[in-house]
Structure 1
Amino acid sequence: MIIVSRPERVWAVCRDVRRGFRSFIALVSLAGFYLWPTPSVTAGDRVLDQVSDASVQQYGAKLLARIPHNPSHFTQGLAFGRGALWESTGHYGKSQLIQYPWASGSTKIQPTAQLQLRSDEFGEGLTILGDTVYQLTWKEGKVHRYQIAETTITPLPSWPNDKQGWGLTTDGTYLIASDGSDVLYFHSPVDFSMVKSIPVRLAGASISRLNELEWINGRIWANVWGSDNLVIIDPDTGRVTGVVDCRQLVDDAKRSHAGAGVLNGIAWDVRSEALLLTGKHWPWIYRVSLVEHKNKP
């Protein structure tokens, strides 16, 4: 049996429900106003789109050469050191440290050494300082170290890391690391103790998801996870002084390989001044040069 109440009571109930719903929406909106995080430049193409500061130089990446790269590699780090090109790859059960011979103008590379990480470790960024390779892990709290000799790579005791491992580079004095936030950390190469940290800002806004890093001519270059752009950072202030648009490379990689992922991997050869860029599951490592773009007025 369906019981129909008096019409005026039905309308009264509906009116109260509507009022309650409006109050709920207002409360949610007010909470959102106070709880929503402060606006910042986040991963994605907005990194470039939001550049309005005339002091931030904008660049494009001019393609000079394609070097075949194993597209199964989930590239986490790329760096030159001791006459070789080094790559760190990720994924549990697939993480490796890979060494390639390198000569100026190389158009093909084949691994000369590959070291497998434990199956419960996820490889991340790497750098070379002196005769030692340093390789981060993601959430495992370890910094792996390897001694490089003429024909051998010898694992050394690992160091603890109290943050997530993302990117790693060196200025010749410190090991400089990112953890996916908007902060860069400067560590001692003696024991990985933290010496200092700097927040990274682009035109006053924070840049989070800083990923793979490279030291080039006194500046820190960084991938921004999920973005087609690189940022160039002043290591003293954390201010972004340049942005590099790499969309041409991303598009080329995806046309060549359907499984190509995000841009990630920067290597600078001081001797030949070769700048290499790649990404996760990319079929190419690209040798590029920078082209200055006219800044927006």
Structure 2
Amino acid sequence: MALSVSIVVSVIVFFLISSYKLHASEHVISFEMVNVVNEFPHDSQAFTEGLLYAGNDTLFESTGDYGKSSVRKVALRTGKVEELKKMDDSLFGEGLTLLGKRLFQLTWMQKIGFIYDQKNLSELGTFNHEMNDGWGLATDGRVLFGSDGSSTLYQLDPQTFKAVSKQVVYYKGQQVYNLNELEYINGEIWANIYQSDCIARISPKDGFLGWILLQNLRKELVEAGNRGIDVLNGIAWDGEQNRIFVTGKLWPKLYEVKVSPIKEPIEEWVIEQLCLR
């Protein structure tokens, strides 16, 4: 009897250990950097808040700042603004996403958003959301993902705009605050971390996945004499050609980048300084 109990206990312990190892392996944190594949012109007066790729070398962009906020259609290769919808001077444009043929845009410090026709940027309506603020917006084609500058990633019903889930994002026990512009890429949410040169990779199911470090981009711009630029902000994904585009507020360039693993170990204080300020 004692032997049977011992065998049962051993089997249970084995499965518990196996389950723990599987769980741990699924949550190994990745550390990556970017290499520039292509550079494109970008309007250096655009205070970029939302960015997305819509096919045929076309981008849609939301810009912020009072009196300068807009939604615009932009030619990727030339940076030329092909269509522009200026917002009222009292509004500060924020995150932008495309669901179906409709563009959804947030505003800062207000719980109101706008819906536009993708074809001509005509306003189709407004919506109210349940986030504390309006920062980033993305979609997987079914739900909207939103951020409000906190550590919470929201899932919003695109019909009612009510929050169907709220996920607090943690990195090694620390909340990852300042989730800003968002992009949905291959089942993940990529989030700019405001006031940093970092992008957080987040799984809507499993939480934090890894860091992408892009400090080399802003460093090169500053070294080239671009003193008026602001922070990294803006991620766009071309799912057909597997291209990733990034830019920043008031940046004169938009970059196509390739992500690759960082092979050298990174000390924890480096991540805290770069990404968790």
TM-score of Structure 1 vs Structure 2, range by shorter chain? 0.7 to 0.9
RMSD of aligned Cα (Å) = 1.7
Equivalent residue for 2:64, pick from 90, 93, 100: 90
**C-alpha deviation, 1:160, in angstroms:** 1.3
**C-alpha deviation, 1:180, in angstroms:** 0.4
1:178-234 CA distance string (max 9 Å, x none): 000000110111121111111101122110010000000110000001111111001
Equivalent residue for 1:141, pick from 111, 127, 142: 111
Deviates more, 1:260-269 or 1:245-254: 245-254
SS of residue in 1 equivalent to 2:122: strand
Counterparts of 1:1-297 in structure 2, within 5 Å, are 55-81=28-54, 83=56, 84-102=58-76, 107-149=77-119, 152-162=120-130, 163-237=132-206, 239-256=207-224, 257-294=226-263, 296=265
Deviates more, 1:126-135 or 1:190-199: 190-199
Structure 2: which amino acid aligns with 1:55? Answer: V
Give the number of the structure whose alpha-carbon radius of gyration is greater.
1
List 4+ stretches of structure 1 deviating above 3 A: none
Structure 2: which amino acid aligns with 1:138? Answer: W
Distance 1:197 1:295 in 2: 34
Mapped contact 1:58–1:295 kept (Cα < 8 A) = no
1:252-293 CA distance string (max 9 Å, x none): 222341101111100001112110011111110011001111
SS of residue in 1 equivalent to 2:80: coil
1:86-125 CA distance string (max 9 Å, x none): 11000011000010235xxxx3231110000110000001
Distance 1:148 1:280 in 2: 23
**C-alpha deviation, 1:245, in angstroms:** 0.8
Distance 1:295 1:203 in 2: 19
Matched residues, percent identical? 35
**C-alpha deviation, 1:76, in angstroms:** 0.5
1:233-264 CA distance string (max 9 Å, x none): 01113x22111110111112223411011111
Structure 2: which amino acid aligns with 1:81? Answer: A
Mapped contact 1:82–1:131 kept (Cα < 8 A) = no
Distance 2:170 2:221 in 1: 29
Distance 1:177 1:226 in 2: 18
Distance 1:252 1:285 in 2: 13
Deviates more, 1:78-87 or 1:127-136: 78-87
SS of residue in 2 equivalent to 1:153: coil
Distance 1:101 1:296 in 2: 39
Distance 2:247 2:232 in 1: 6
The number of residues matched between the two structures is: 238
